[in-house]
Structure 1
Amino acid sequence: MRTCNPSFPSPWLHGLILLLSLMTQGCGLIYDAVQHVAPIATDELNSICRRQTVRIGMAAEPFRPFVFPAIWTDEGARITGLDVEIVKYITAALSQHCGSPVTPVLRVFRFRDLFTLLNEGQLDLFVSAVAANTPSPSRAGFAYSIPYFYNGGISGITARADMVERLRTNIRAQTERSTPDGVDANEQALAGLTIAVQELTAAHLYAEANLKASRLVLCDSLPAAFEHADAATDPAIDVILGAEPVLEFMVTRVRKDWRLLTLDTGKPLLFTRGQYAVVMAEESYQLRWFVNTVLFKLDESGKLAAIRKRWLEESYAFPRRAAAEGLPFDVEKMVAHYDQGTCRVASTR
């Protein structure tokens, strides 16, 4: 009887393994040996409990009423808004889960940088009226909670009264066709116009993908788009595209010299719908389940509807709410927070 030789030459061993591999193809043996094994996900909740802090990103640019401009109080810089209230509920639930207080560490950055910072592991999550249904390579590798705001979408505003009627006429002409195409109707309605969008928001990604016949102006923020239009800087902006709830809030409470694009029925002209959610890393499975549960309970209890009503329908002065209930953030970011940036013509698409 032969016995196994412990000094069996390695080249012979490699050859034998290769021969056996070829002989067993199709039997599932090799697949079982080399199939990808998913790495064990880290428990983000335990990490948050150990740190006793949760790192939350938020846009430096205001997205009223979701994120308002920061104010300075006797206790330091404070920021408030619908999204900030959502963060407070998530943090309170984390404190209960951990059995000790968890402090939200708010990190305020440009909206376009939040995805990068999350990808680099510098944030646990971020919120800033982010639409979870935006198809773009720039949004790959991220995951979203269940929605906390359902009636979002992309709409537009203009400072010109004639522009509203022009768009209505264009859309009527498109919908009267025998085979109307919604996307084509929107493209034709805005064809030849100069459209301003905030860079890397859902409105920018939508315009880049669909509005090929429009001139695109990229702005660092919505306030920058208003400043560009007010200064009559070339090119003159015909329409600003953005999140419908944000634009409607602006034209009804802040910039009443602008008007929302509407249909003949008076309803807002929507180019697509959006549901806003909390953004997390794709591999943050435990944290996503946790945040989903928090939002689900808020929705089922009616608190989520009350939060939306409180920020979108009630009359209030946001500085007072910021002073009374706002969250603090790094004062060094205060200057950057107030620098709303500029606008520039997009490169040829």
Structure 2
Amino acid sequence: MRFFLLIVSAAVLLSCRSEHKDPNDGLALDNGTTSSYRIETVVPELNNPWGMTWLPDGAMLITEKSGELIHFKDGKKTQIKDTPDIYVRGQGGFLDVVLHPNYKTNGWIYFTHASSEGGGEGGNTKLIRAKLDGDRLTNIESLYKATPNTTKGQHFGSRIAFDKDGYLYFSVGDRGNRDVNPQDIGRDGGKIYRLHDDGRIPADNPFVGVSGAKEAVFSYGHRNPQGMDLHPITGEIWTHEHGPKGGDEVNIIKKGANYGWPVISYGVNYSGTSFTDLTEKEGMEQPVHYWVPSIAPCGMAFVTGDKFPAWKNQLLVGSLKFNYVELLKLDGNKVIGREKIADGIGRVRNVRVGPNGYIYIALEGQGIVRLLPN
């Protein structure tokens, strides 16, 4: 009876929350109707491929969360040497990888990873850049290291994206310190950061000159953003982040904006109990879209190129929990439909669109596959 009452209580709570403006209202999840495709394996036998990008010669660089950096070309995997020291714990490890927009000119590659650098036991998220010389990383530069270190194993983030003006954005999750980090601009964690490509803080960042603030912070009030991409038309940075039980979100990042975590949320504690009665509050951003129940989103990409014309400029989001990729159909900044892609494929850790226009999906315990149009 007690278990039944807990279920009913959680259901009533979520029902009450849905009385607010609901981006999910009426958006049934279609089972794939707008494009025909086949799936082929590209990189087999990977454990937890977290980040992936492409070099100009078509080779892939892949981060394994356990700490390896893999170069893959023509069916051959090469482990890159002289990589940074990776702190591997829980959700932390070797995380994202992207190329500088002018990589062909300057050769810079950007990484986020969990690091034990600095004082205190444990680790936190770090942003670096480096160059690739044959099978070695060289010229490693530290650009930002979140503090303090902690032995908690959750919510490191982290994704990286460049905007059209060359600014670099990256995310750090709240590191399991929900009630302190996200709403405090003087602390790392639960933030989206913006830097110049060499790690300098832009003079027009929103909290430059604010006493005690982390001046690299661009937006705050985030939980654990593990998806980030540049909108191909508007040039805005879009992210998604894990909610607790319910309340995963898609957000458009605005300068100095507060995204509300944990003051407002469409989710509840994993136990089903409530930690806030609010889903909206003045001065806090509403998500473009949210999921109840959670899909555990990881990896995000706008569809570009002409390989999938029915999906062009629409948004792909991977689901760790339900083993598929979700296509969010957009009308401007509004989600008007949802479609299930590659259903049952496995735990999706990342989804990207390659320079050839094909869609690549990184799968835990499997490897990387790609979608090819029929």
Report the TM range for the smaller structure's normalisation: under 0.3
When normalised by structure 1's length, the TM-score is 0.26
Q: Which protein is richer in strand relative to its size?
A: 2
Work out which of the two has the higher radius of gyration on C-alpha atoms and give 1 or 2: 1
Q: Which protein is richer in helix relative to its size?
A: 1
